[in-house]
Amino acid sequence: MNTYLGKWGLLGFWVLWGLSNFSTHGMNFAFAPLGKSSQVEVGLSTAFAGGEIRGAFPRVGGQIEFRPEYLGSTKGKVQLDARALQFGNYKVAGDAHSTEWLGSDQFPEISFTLTGLKQARWQGKELLATAHGSLKMKNRVSPFSIPVSIRYYRDQRRKVDGVKGDLIVLSGESSISRSQLGINPGTMMDAVMDKIRIKINLVGGSNRVRPFLPSALFQ
């Protein structure tokens, strides 16, 4: 009898340890495996083409460690390849990758390092917060924040790529000064405004399914 109870007691310990481990360390969600499901859009305010030229990065890399019990300590990184940025306008497309603009060949890495979520609040199943961190472009690092909406889909990754796991979807929009990023107007001095609009829709997948821990995720 004691042996039986001892076995169940040990099992209970490991179950509780596993749940605690999820709560303490969170879960990692990778963007690259689902890269085509994500998109980062760039909007340039202009004096032509209807007032805005839009470009997009077709693939997204990086990952986020999401900790719903400790949102302030959520960490992550979004990685983009400057050479992959595409614009519908051929003139803008040519200038965008030039030395005066992105210098894509010399500085292919664009990344956003997430250091935490602030002003977080739940609105039903949706988490609203401000993502704080730093944006790296042309080897220049600038502080950057963006209001985000986060939705969590437990055990739904298999519907996207057949892998057992959870999905997390982050969307948001913000703007940053072109001069702050070291991007000059090049030959379009009077045609492109200083502000760059950045819109994200990121889809990350975990390689495991989160247990039903007490959390606003599952209320």
| Distance of alpha carbon 12 from alpha carbon 14, whole angstroms | 5
Mean pLDDT of 7-17: 44
Instruction: Note the pLDDT of residue 194.
Output: 75
Which pLDDT band, with edges at 50, 70 and 90, does 189 fall under? very low
What is residue 35's DSSP assignment?
Answer: G
As beta bridge partners, residue 78 has 62, 112
Instruction: Note the pLDDT of residue 39.
Output: 92
| Distance of alpha carbon 216 from alpha carbon 50, whole angstroms | 43
Residue 153 burial (CB count, 10 A): 17
Condensed to tens digits (0 to 9), the pLDDT of residues 148-182 reads 999 999 999 999 999 999 999 999 999 988 877 77
Q: What's the longest Cα–Cα distance across the chain?
A: 84
Condensed to tens digits (0 to 9), the pLDDT of residues 96-132 reads 888 878 889 999 999 999 999 999 999 988 999 999 9
What residue spans define the domains of the chain? 27-218
| Confidence (pTM) | 0.82
What is residue 164's DSSP assignment?
Answer: S
Q: Identity (one letter) of the amino acid at 119?
A: Q
Condensed to tens digits (0 to 9), the pLDDT of residues 15-58 reads 444 444 444 457 999 999 997 899 999 988 776 656 778 899 98
Mean pLDDT of 135-153: 94
Main-chain dihedrals φ then ψ at residue 37, nearest 5 degrees: -85, -15
| Distance of alpha carbon 190 from alpha carbon 94, whole angstroms | 17
As beta bridge partners, residue 123 has 126
Main-chain dihedrals φ then ψ at residue 174, nearest 5 degrees: -155, -175
Residue 82 in this model has a pLDDT that exceeds 80: yes
Instruction: Note the pLDDT of residue 1.
Output: 47
Q: Which residues contact 136 (CB under 8 A, 6 or more apart)?
A: 109, 110, 111, 112, 113, 142
Which pLDDT band, with edges at 50, 70 and 90, does 6 fall under? low
Between 184 and 6, the more confident residue is 184
For the chain, the average pLDDT equals: 83
27-218 homologous superfamily: Lipid/polyisoprenoid-binding, YceI-like (2.40.128.110)
Instruction: Note the pLDDT of residue 156.
Output: 96
Mean pLDDT of 193-201: 87
Q: Which helix (DSSP H) or strand (DSSP E) does residue 17 occupy?
A: helix 2-25
Quick one: tokens of 180? Answer: 């702050």
Q: Which residues contact 164 (CB under 8 A, 6 or more apart)?
A: 155, 157, 158, 207, 208, 209
| Whole-number Cα distances in Å, 18 to 25, 71, 181, 200, 213 | 11, 20, 43, 33, 11
Is 196:42 a contact under the CB 8 Å cutoff? Answer: yes
| Distance of alpha carbon 141 from alpha carbon 38, whole angstroms | 23
Which pLDDT band, with edges at 50, 70 and 90, does 68 fall under? confident
Instruction: Note the pLDDT of residue 15.
Output: 43
Quick one: tokens of 67? Answer: 């900790």
| Distance of alpha carbon 149 from alpha carbon 202, whole angstroms | 10
